[in-house]
């Protein structure tokens, strides 16, 4: 079973408020090849960091208000949130090591 929660735009704020640990959100789109390439990496991160991190994904095509709020210009765009505020970001289909490094610097 996946450790990654798909989040609808209408649920986003409540999801973030309910989070009791940092949240990693993968902003993606179904038409985005690099997003599909990054998905297994995000799944691995979710499993390996299950004790310290909540992982979710948002389809940007269904969340234009979140695209505007976080000024997302391209996908995949992975943002780490702490206490509901973005604290780190990774653009593009990066290797797992790059996301691990980002998390190690901020968790």
Catalytic residue numbers, as ranges: 32, 35
Quick one: which of 8, 19, 4 has its CA closest to 82? Answer: 19
Find the length of the chain.
107
**What distance in Å separates the CA atoms of residue 81 and residue 100, rounded to the nearest whole number?**
15
Residue with structure tokens 């079973």?
1
Distance CA 41, CA 18 (A): 25
């Amino acid at each position: 079973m996946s450790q990654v929660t798909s989040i609808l735009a209408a649920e986003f704020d409540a999801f973030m408020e309910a989070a009791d640990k940092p949240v990693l959100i993968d902003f993606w789109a179904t038409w985005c090849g690099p997003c599909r390439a990054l998905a297994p990496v995000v799944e691995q991160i979710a499993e390996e960091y299950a004790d310290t991190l909540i992982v979710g994904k948002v389809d940007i095509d269904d969340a234009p208000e979140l695209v505007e709020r976080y000024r997302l210009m391209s996908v995949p765009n992975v943002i780490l949130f702490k206490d509901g505020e973005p604290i780190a970001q990774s653009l593009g289909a990066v290797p797992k090591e790059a996301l691990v490094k980002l998390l190690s610097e901020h968790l």
